[in-house]
Chain A
């Protein structure tokens, strides 16, 4: 071999710096439906309307759908790239990656206020996931990648703490809280992470064979709902088992 040092270098690199990997359980969807929401980027249950969900669109609007995927309401917003949505009994929150803003609405979908949380990261590598963590009584706001930051916000949407999540995944595309645990979704790794909501320790991972999974939610029966942005589809999975 004429240039053995090249291959030696490559081998060394392979051995010393392998990617983070997990022993994940592969799950398969039992149903999928086409959405009439363009570029859906996140989903969350509507807690005041059983069987209904909010979906954020990359095209800058909020849609409400029923379990059949039919659009029951839409709300155009003065934003350009909605990437995350969360709703509690009082309010709906929509996160815009483009302007780094959070828009707070009531359940009549009237805008109450909009606040900006400046972030200097890449235009398309900014806020991507948002949910509420009742264990810490904090909202959780995640950046997508390079690096993945978790901003813990007070209930008044002020930054309380920031945590660099390290190489947990190549990106984070959604976050939700369900039955005492925090769940994250990674689009690029196609993984669901179950986490301890106090320590953010990863407890379990599931592999999701879906193109471009951008939104994650659980329904009342524990079924997992995942929206695919590129395919504009909603996928249904059976409840997760450890």
Chain B
């Protein structure tokens, strides 16, 4: 047995005995809660025969987060959340959209009866999978479609939100910089335009929180449906360019031209079983006929547009008596419909809860069924991660 296996076993025995301190400061009107999270895992990849780069086969510190969450009466709320690991990486200029370093820095006014107003930097109201807090996930990584390479997950801007029908209907409308997580670098791009995002969701028979796992073992079937869309026109003035890497890994996060993204998501849960399905499609109309996203096709062939998108399906079971979560996820996505092929990935996960979601041993397996080789050739075929996560809140 290797050393790290012994470490995991040791941690497993220790955590089942842990209690968790929390820290809340209050003067009766203003409550400030301090919480945080540390998670680490061991990763191993099976590489393709043509590759010998095993830089991922080792331990990784994934999260080292501190969160300050406050409420002032029922009028104001604020949140500041940072991840020191990702902050250090962001200092080198690289920003992982799933883990951007600064995770939340916003203020919300709740004093109006009909609406809440949030301003600052935080999650965008788009994609249910993106909105589920990661601390409630048995996975080590979100689905590729929703982890920030197709569309940004966070941005600076303003969000208006409202709920009705006993919180079963929620609606969001917002305007943002359109740079996503790259807004943290400072300046906006040369377009001067915003991105607009909206989302409406309805749940039955009661409000449905942003959770994938039926941790409360619902005694009656519960459902939620969400539809969302976003639009931005980022046509660059002549002679101007986007900041470096703004387009992200697939070049989709910022298009020199118009971009629409629309999608829907479904969620259900009953007696510990839960399932989610969501689909997104992007319609992009690059302004420049020579835009690299056209992949060299002529305007007559492309009609001045291309599509990207895909879907994610996930099924989960929470086995309460064994403190265990079993989950499996399948996703299919097309980075650009002008290129042949689609990517398909399968990923099961298991989590053992020592103390609810606050302390978990998590295992995730990744398997690439197919890839869109012309645009995103992978150097590995499968990988797995095992590690622990601890929330102090």
Minimum Cβ distance to chain B for residue A38 (Å) = 8
A209 to B220, CA, bound (A): 7
State the CA gap A20–B74 with chains docked (Å).
Answer: 36
B72 to chain A, nearest CB (A): 10
Of the candidates B13, B22, B73, B358, the one having the most CB atoms from chain A within 10 angstroms of its own CB is B22
Which of A1-9, A45-53, A132-140 touches B? A1-9
Map CB proximity to B onto A203-228 as digits: 1 under 8 Å, 0 otherwise: 00000111110000000000000001
Does B206 contact A12, Cβ atoms closer than 8 Å? no
A147 interface residue per 8 A CB criterion? yes
Binds A, one of B23-31, B132-140, B144-152, B226-234: B23-31
Given A18-B321, A98-B31, the answer on whether A211 and B206 have CB atoms closer than 8 Å is yes
Q: Which residue of A lies closest to B20 (CB)?
A: A146
Are B28's CB and A211's CB within 8 A? no
B323 touches A230 (CB 8 A): no
Write the chain A residue with the least CB distance to B2.
A5
B19-47: which have CB < 8 Å to A? 19-20, 22-26, 28-29, 31, 33, 35
Binds A, one of B179-187, B210-218, B251-259, B291-299: B210-218
Chain A residues with Cβ below 8 Å from B205 are: 211, 231
Q: Enumerate B291-336 residues with CB–CB distance to A below 8 Å.
A: 320-324
Looking across the interface, which residue of chain B has its beta carbon closest to that of A208?
B219
User: A9-B9, A13-B352, A231-B205 known; A121 and B322 CB under 8 Å?
Assistant: no
CA distance in complex: A212, B212 (Å):
17
Residues of A contacting B28 with CB < 8 Å? 99, 101, 116
Given contacts A12-B9, A14-B324, A123-B33, contact A146 B358 (CB under 8 A): yes
Say whether A126 contacts B206, CB under 8 Å: no
Q: Which residues of A contact B324 (CB under 8 A)?
A: 10, 14
Q: How far is the CA of A53 from the CA of B350 in the complex (A)?
A: 45
Q: Which residues of B contact A13 (CB under 8 A)?
A: 12, 16, 323, 352, 361
Would you call B87 an interface residue if the criterion is a C-beta within 8 Å of the partner chain's C-beta atoms?
no
Question: Across the interface, do B222 and A211 meet the contact criterion of CB distance under 8 Å?
Answer: yes
| Complex-state Cα separation, A146 to B5, whole angstroms | 29
Q: Are A211 and B218 in contact (CB under 8 A)?
A: yes
A229 to chain B, nearest CB (A): 9
Contact B33 A122 (CB under 8 A): yes
Looking at the complex, which one of B22, B31, B220 makes contact with A146 (CB distance below 8 Å)? Answer: B22
Give Cα distance in the complex from A147 to B28, angstroms. 22
Q: How far is the CB of B17 from chain A (nearest CB, A)?
A: 9
Q: Contact between A12 and B12 (Cβ–Cβ < 8 Å)?
A: yes
Using Cβ atoms and an 8 Å threshold, which residues of chain B touch A211? 205-206, 218-220, 222
Which chain B residues lie closer than 8 Å to A10 at the CB level? 324, 350, 352, 361, 363
- Chain B residues with a Cβ closer than 8 Å to the other chain, count: 51
CB distance from B360 to the nearest CB of A (A): 11
- B8 at interface by CB-CB < 8 Å: yes
State whether the Cβ of B166 lies closer than 8 Å to any Cβ in chain A: yes
* Cβ of A179 under 8 Å from chain B: no
Tell whether, in the assembled complex, residue A232 and residue B166 are in contact, meaning their CB atoms are under 8 Å apart.
Answer: yes
B167 touches A230 (CB 8 A): yes
A200 at the B interface (CB under 8 A): no
Q: Report the separation of the CA atoms of residues A17 and B16 in the bound assembly, to the nearest whole angstrom.
A: 7
Q: How far, in angstroms, from A188 to B272 measured CA to CA in the complex?
A: 12
Say how far A12's CB is from chain B's closest CB, in angstroms: 7
Cross-chain contact B320 with A16 (CB below 8 angstroms): no
Q: Decide if A9 touches B166 in the complex (CB within 8 Å).
A: no
Distance in angstroms between the alpha carbons of A190 and B219 in the assembled complex: 9
A5, A19, A126: the one within 8 Å of B321 (CB): A19
A210 touches B219 (CB 8 A): yes
A99 to B9, Cβ gap below 8 A? Answer: no
Residues of A contacting B345 with CB < 8 Å? none
Q: Which residue of A lies closest to B15 (CB)?
A: A17
- Nearest A residue to B12 by beta-carbon distance? A13
Closest to B350 in A: A10
> What's the least CB distance linking A56 to chain B, in Å?
15
The 7 listed contacts between A and B (C-beta, < 8 Å) are A6-B363, A14-B352, A17-B354, A21-B320, A122-B393, A212-B216, A231-B205
